[in-house]
Amino acid sequence: MNAIEKNVDRIRFAHLPTPIEEMKRLSAELGGPRLFVKRDDATGLALGGNKTRKLEFLVADALAKGARTLVTAGAAQSNHCRQTAAAAAKFGMGCVLVLDGREPDEPSANLLLDKLFGARIVWVADRKDRESTQREAFGKLDDAGEMPYFVPYGGSSPIGAMGYTFAVEEVLAQGIDADWFVFGTSSGGTHAGLALGARLFGYRGKVLGISIDESEAWLKARVSALASDASELLGRRVEIRPEEILANDSYCSAGYGVLTGAEREAVTLFARTEGLLLDPVYTGRAAAGLVDLIRKGCFRKDESVLFWNTGGQPALFAEKYLDILDRA
């Protein structure tokens, strides 16, 4: 444990460090910069993904506060909910998930796994009722003495962001001096952690989030605030300004979870050049952005780019995305 980390509770269960692999065939195919992938789809915990790193800190906080039930919310195919349900099972806690939409006749992919882990599911037909439904579910658990703990949406709170703050220390110790980190960004915790970690551990490259569903302006404000607030947990506030946050929102106009030709192409390209699996919602979209930026010549040939594969592969098998495998 290093001097900075001793200020925050953490339970280590992620499979770390995750490997870094060079993607030579993809780089040659695109005529682009040197490309590497950080295999955060291999973090362990129920098929892995970026939420594992956040949950090391969130579960530690929940247990330190005496909680016995994890409560969180998300989309029906939320990776965050799947991994939170698994973490709850692993630590002998209950789990309640507030999911958007209506219960499908045949649960598939992440939703099937939520059930396998024993999570209780509450459906919210209208997204605007999400918060009130959450509060109600939380209140009921509280009244029943189940000691609920609220895990924020996407695990993106200052505590959750710690996971990616320390991921920067990890990656720097792996000796790959990439000029760019590129990854999908949505609720901002991954982005904030990487931005703060870059500052604290002296990463000199650029930290570029490809937006999955939010505007650049929203991400700059959200991620800078989250990163600055997260720094306080480590003992001293570090101010990260919105202008310092790099976010590209050119690839999300289709809306959250809507699969377009761009994601399909990226998923297929990574599969066929590198034998790597991306997911339709997050890493497929982020990779589609990366591929487009490479084609537009946004990276110099002598630069290197580290793409964070943040996971999400179970969604490849979700009913609504089965055509990605079929039509590819």
Closer to ligand PLP by CB, 224 or 310: give it: 310
Closer to ligand PLP by CB, 133 or 283: give it: 283
Using rule CB under 6 A, residue 80 touches ligand PLP: yes
Select from 166, 155, 198 the least CA-distant residue to 7: 166
Output b/e per residue, 77-95; b: 16+ Cβ within 10 A: bbbbbbbbbbbbbebebbb
Distance (Å, whole) CA 68 – CA 62: 8
**Shortest gap between Cβ of 183 and ligand PLP (angstroms)?**
7
Closer to ligand PLP by CB, 111 or 141: give it: 111
Output b/e per residue, 100-126; b: 16+ Cβ within 10 A: beeeeeebbbbbebbeebebebbebee
Active site residue 156: no
Distance (Å, whole) CA 4 – CA 121: 37
Using rule CB under 6 A, residue 134 touches ligand PLP: no
Q: Is 165 exposed, middle or buried (0-12, 13-18, 19+ CB in 10 A)?
A: buried
Residue nearest to ligand PLP (CB): 312
Distance (Å, whole) CA 85 – CA 235: 31
Q: Which stretch binds ligand PLP (CB under 6 A): 20-28, 121-129, 267-275, 277-285?
A: 277-285
Closer to ligand PLP by CB, 18 or 186: give it: 186
Contact set for ligand PLP, span 150-179 (CB under 6 A): 154, 156
Using rule CB under 6 A, residue 190 touches ligand PLP: yes
Is 256:75 a contact under the CB 8 Å cutoff?
yes
Using rule CB under 6 A, residue 197 touches ligand PLP: no
**Shortest gap between Cβ of 250 and ligand PLP (angstroms)?**
17
Q: Collect all residues with Cβ–Cβ distance below 8 Å to 204 and sequence separation of at least 6.
A: none
Catalytic residue, chosen from 78, 108, 211, 304, is 78
Is 273:37 a contact under the CB 8 Å cutoff?
no
Q: Which stretch binds ligand PLP (CB under 6 A): 7-15, 132-140, 238-246, 309-317?
A: 309-317
**Shortest gap between Cβ of 282 and ligand PLP (angstroms)?**
3
Q: Quick one: which of 48, 184, 197, 280 contacts ligand PLP (CB under 6 A)? A: 184
Is 46:15 a contact under the CB 8 Å cutoff?
no
**Shortest gap between Cβ of 315 and ligand PLP (angstroms)?**
8
Is 311:49 a contact under the CB 8 Å cutoff?
yes
Using rule CB under 6 A, residue 50 touches ligand PLP: yes
Closer to ligand PLP by CB, 141 or 158: give it: 158
Distance (Å, whole) CA 152 – CA 134: 11
Q: Among the residues of the chain, which ranges form H helices?
A: 24-30, 51-64, 79-90, 109-116, 130-143, 158-173, 189-201, 216-233, 261-274, 283-295, 322-327
**Shortest gap between Cβ of 131 and ligand PLP (angstroms)?**
18
**Shortest gap between Cβ of 99 and ligand PLP (angstroms)?**
14
Q: Collect all residues with Cβ–Cβ distance below 8 Å to 15 and sequence separation of at least 6.
A: 42, 43, 44, 48
Q: Quick one: which of 33, 158, 280, 311 contacts ligand PLP (CB under 6 A)? A: 311
Say how many residues touch ligand PLP, by CB under 6 A: 20
Closer to ligand PLP by CB, 101 or 303: give it: 101
Return residues touching ligand PLP (CB under 6 A). 49-50, 79-80, 154, 156, 184-191, 279, 282-283, 310-312
Q: Which residues are catalytic?
A: 78
